[in-house]
Structure 1
Amino acid sequence: MTMNWEQLLCADRLGRRPAKSEEGRSPFYSDHDKIVFSGAFRRLARKTQVHPLASNDHVHNRLTHSLEVACVGRTLGMRVGNALQEHGELPEPLLPTDIGDIVQSSCLAHDIGNPPFGHTGEDAIRNWFQKEGAAYLEGLDEVERDDVRLFEGNAQSLRVLTTLEYYQYEEGMRLTYATLAAAIKYPWTATPSVRNQRPKNTKYGVFQAELDYFHEIAERTGLLPQGDDWYCRHPLVYLMEAADDFCYGILDLEDGLEMGILGWAEIYDILRPIIPSEQVAELERALKRVDDGRKPAVVRGKVIGALIDSGAEAFMRHRQDFLAGRVTGDLISLCDAPVRSAVQAAKDLARDRIFNHAKRVELEIGAYNTIGTLLSTLCGAVDALLSDPSRVTYKDDRVLALIGRNNFHPSVFQKTGHYKYQALMAVIDYISGMTDNYATNLAKQFNGMGEVRY
């Protein structure tokens, strides 16, 4: 049993809406535009990529990272689309650009649910609900409790796309099924992953709140079922994931150079093996004419070009395995040895030297206190509302107004599940949607130490 491209590239929209025919853009490029114009995407400009609250304007944030990943993903997708067309495997009337548009859109959306302070923010939310906030989870089903105490930015991204943006609680952005499926990096739920019953332990891509949408997406794109609430990945997920790995694996090193954490020589030692040998002599002559800060721009195009060549070739070589759901690793593991080694070496260097840099660690620790302050204040008010509305103080009422009282109206949750679970998810929605700056300033305000902002 295998998947087929005709279903996988379904242009119908969430909610079983037929594909729109628009002059000048495909349904998949329409997805691109919807994501770009969303508030959640715009806020990525002030969310951490690697360095929280960076004052250096040249350092990547989540927005610049997502845009760069989308550029690489679009080219990677078009290369695969061209190859599929040459082999007679791309269904008519679809074009190679449609594959590029789907991958580009999924790349734009891949981090759209990340909270402030990046992965540290994710862990700060988990840490608080597993410790100080554990009492707020009483009364939830196990699967609901795991969603909250094991908060996952990937699942929040699907929630932003299908629930929160544009048509709130009514299919969200109403993207095509193909783009949504290509954006679900981990197509399973929280509880089995915690029990080591899924390919990637502790990672998952779907909250209970979006489970019906998830099954609808999987059904319409023909994803192969693997178990309870679990499907194989959409083949284009591997292209999105590879584009992300190429960018953060290589471009994080550029940030390290910009901030004086790394030297050019150690970066070039990693990149040199994947540059085509016939280009090296001329490239190194060009490198001698510029200072270290400009050298990444000289080699970047050649490095990314080599990564795309390797990724596209690996995908086509294993395309039948992707369609059969047999691939358990990632696309980079199928690339040629120099690319595999370079990407892994870049990740290792970033982990050892950049992620553990003292200034970054200091800011990460502060992020736990910021997130903890926000959750304590917000969950306290929500708990008062849920347990006994007569207990709601004036302060609680002001907090609920800040989140948005419409998020707690019973009619919203009648069709989406357990009221307490949904109320806690609304709190997480509010916090995960914040920028680093807003979260920091709001925590100061809650502590009576903030500056006046309008």
Structure 2
Amino acid sequence: MDWEKLLCSERLGDKHYEPRPNRSIFIQDHDRIVFSAPFRRLANKTQVQPLYEHDHVHHRLIHSVEVSSVGRSLAMRIGNWLEETHRIASGESNSLANIVQAACVAHDIGNPPFGHSGEAAMGDWFAEKFDDSKGIMAEVEDQQRSEFVRFEGNAQGFRIISRLEMYRNDGGMRLSKATLGAFTKYPTTSAVRESIVGSRDVTYVGLKKFGIFRSEIELFKEAANSLGLPEEVDRIGNWWRRHPLVFIVEAADDICYNIVDLEDAFTTGELPFDTVRGLLHEAANNPNRDVSSLSPAEHIALLRALSIGAAVESCVEAFKTNYDAIMAGTFSNSLADAGPMASVFAKMKTLSRDQVFTARRKTELEVSGRRVIGNVMSGVLPVFEDLFRVSWNPDGLSDHTRQLARALDLDLRDVADAERALHALADFTSGMTDRYAVRIARMLSGI
């Protein structure tokens, strides 16, 4: 891969745009994302702790801002090294940092309410309805069902930034192709991934999940061609190797959620001080500082900051060490797991898995959240079934359905077949905040 192509500043849907002096198009990418409604809604979406009243616990928006800060620092460090070794032109380190910051701030923009349990709840609801195979569910091709049954926030995020938000169906936010490439962790569709994984042993990290719905594959293909991403051919479609900056975006996310989730768990009382202090002290390379004047919370905050700094160093080293494989599209690991801090990250993941993600309050609220999402989707489905009945003509809807669509402010503009109807249902549900989902579920249940 070639950095001159990988840093492509051409906008999706607006290839003739000329950037203004003193304002990089990549900075504009960041600003368009930050000022968007889907980004604002992240302020009321679960990071790890659902529906928490504690002001110091992270939600998705704060997490996204922190990831963008770490990503910018990582990219600047790596960009400086690339400049020093004459791999990129002088001054391009700023472009790397701006692209990564924009992609980082958008990385969770497609996540539904209630975090990853919300993704599973939506997928399970679709699976149950496909099993019944009635109405519009029977109209969706078998090959396309997997992208609903395994609903993926990454693919929903690409759909938002490339199609739904701002210039609807005409480039979406019209971000630079470099930012779109850096955003896309899993450059393939669900159907292609299923075909590949089902036919042979595939370990490439970019195929761990899918990151593009069929409805947006041509948009990604345009960006990938401009960026020069290596394209692989499968019997039912193609997939691509990751953009090198994806690894930096992913590393920033790994650093923040591994380290900051521990701080949140201490704040909520789910992990004791000594446990969190011990692991963060190791992550921060066992600093010898006088902390006698610090409260427990201040001590943890200090260690969190030092740990993030050490993690950045680790990921920079991993990028340098694996540079040739990254540029060849063959590197199939995360920078967090390939750097000197890999063993510490492994301990953090184990602790979170065994004691944070299984905490009683979190588990109870995830059970409730799944029911909320199921109630919302079941309550909204009749609108799309009625549209199907009247051959997708909104003017033919019954009075009750019209009233329901108006009460929910459903966007029916693009609904002209069953597949697009289910995407519209997923757009509506995944776009909800946690508390709005609870309120709508109550309304639809008559409570």
TM-score between both structures, scaled by the size of structure 2 = 0.92
Shifted more, 193-202 versus 345-354: the winner is 193-202
CA contact (8 A) 1:5 1:91 kept: no
Q: Which of 235, 241, 257 is the matching residue for 2:250?
A: 241
Per-residue deviation, 1:397: 1.4
Give me the whole-angstrom Cα distance separating, in 2, the residues matched to 1:357 and 1:317.
38
Name the structure 2 match of 1:80: 78
Give me the whole-angstrom Cα distance separating, in 2, the residues matched to 1:292 and 1:270.
14
Per-residue deviation, 1:333: 2.3
Per-residue deviation, 1:203: 1.6
Give me the whole-angstrom Cα distance separating, in 2, the residues matched to 1:194 and 1:289.
56
Alignment CA distance shift 1:237-1:202 (3 Å): closer
What amino acid maps onto 1:147 in structure 2?
A: E
Shifted more, 418-427 versus 74-83: the winner is 418-427
Name the structure 2 match of 1:111: 108
SS at match of 1:226: strand
CA contact (8 A) 2:315 2:339 kept: yes
What amino acid maps onto 1:21 in structure 2?
A: P
CA contact (8 A) 1:45 1:64 kept: yes
Give me the whole-angstrom Cα distance separating, in 1, the residues matched to 2:125 and 2:321.
45
Name the structure 1 match of 2:96: 99
Per-residue deviation, 1:97: 1.4
Q: Does 2:270 correspond to 1:261?
A: yes
Q: Does 2:406 correspond to 1:408?
A: no
Name the structure 2 match of 1:427: 425
For structure 1, the residue ranges without an aligned partner over 5 or more in a row are 450-454
Alignment CA distance shift 1:166-1:268 (3 Å): same
Give me the whole-angstrom Cα distance separating, in 2, the residues matched to 1:82 and 1:275.
24
Per-residue deviation, 1:341: 1.2
Shifted more, 42-51 versus 372-381: the winner is 372-381
Per-residue deviation, 1:403: 5.2
TM-score between both structures, scaled by the size of structure 1 = 0.91
Q: Deviations over 1:54-77 (max 9, x none)?
A: 111110000010011100000000
RMSD: 1.8
Per-residue deviation, 1:404: 4.9
CA contact (8 A) 2:232 2:239 kept: yes
Q: Does 2:314 correspond to 1:310?
A: yes
Alignment CA distance shift 1:170-1:143 (3 Å): farther
Aligned ranges 1:94-173 → 2 under 5 Å = 94-132=91-129, 134=131, 135=133, 136-173=136-173
Name the structure 2 match of 1:281: 288
Q: Does 2:190 correspond to 1:190?
A: yes
Name the structure 1 match of 2:218: 212
CA contact (8 A) 1:42 1:63 kept: yes
Q: Deviations over 1:283-305 (max 9, x none)?
A: xx22x322212212212222111
Per-residue deviation, 1:123: 0.6
Give me the whole-angstrom Cα distance separating, in 2, the residues matched to 1:184 and 1:202.
12
Give me the whole-angstrom Cα distance separating, in 2, the residues matched to 1:397 and 1:221.
44
CA contact (8 A) 2:337 2:345 kept: no
Name the structure 1 match of 2:88: 90
What amino acid maps onto 1:113 in structure 2?
A: G
Name the structure 2 match of 1:250: 259
CA contact (8 A) 2:112 2:430 kept: yes
SS at match of 1:230: strand
CA contact (8 A) 2:130 2:138 kept: no
What amino acid maps onto 1:118 in structure 2?
A: G
SS at match of 1:138: helix
Per-residue deviation, 1:318: 1.6
What amino acid maps onto 2:428 in structure 1?
A: Y
Shifted more, 146-155 versus 17-26: the winner is 17-26
SS at match of 2:139: coil
Q: Which of 39, 55, 68 is the matching residue for 2:66?
A: 68
Per-residue deviation, 1:133: 5.5
Per-residue deviation, 1:266: 1.1
Give me the whole-angstrom Cα distance separating, in 1, the residues matched to 2:24 and 2:402.
46
Give me the whole-angstrom Cα distance separating, in 1, the residues matched to 2:244 and 2:404.
43
Identity over aligned pairs, percent: 37
Q: Does 2:220 correspond to 1:222?
A: no
Give me the whole-angstrom Cα distance separating, in 2, the residues matched to 1:55 and 1:408.
35
Give me the whole-angstrom Cα distance separating, in 2, the residues matched to 1:310 and 1:303.
10
CA contact (8 A) 1:381 1:399 kept: yes
Shifted more, 107-116 versus 316-325: the winner is 316-325
Name the structure 2 match of 1:394: 399
What amino acid maps onto 1:281 in structure 2?
A: N
Alignment CA distance shift 1:77-1:176 (3 Å): same
Name the structure 2 match of 1:452: none
Give me the whole-angstrom Cα distance separating, in 2, the residues matched to 1:142 and 1:106.
32
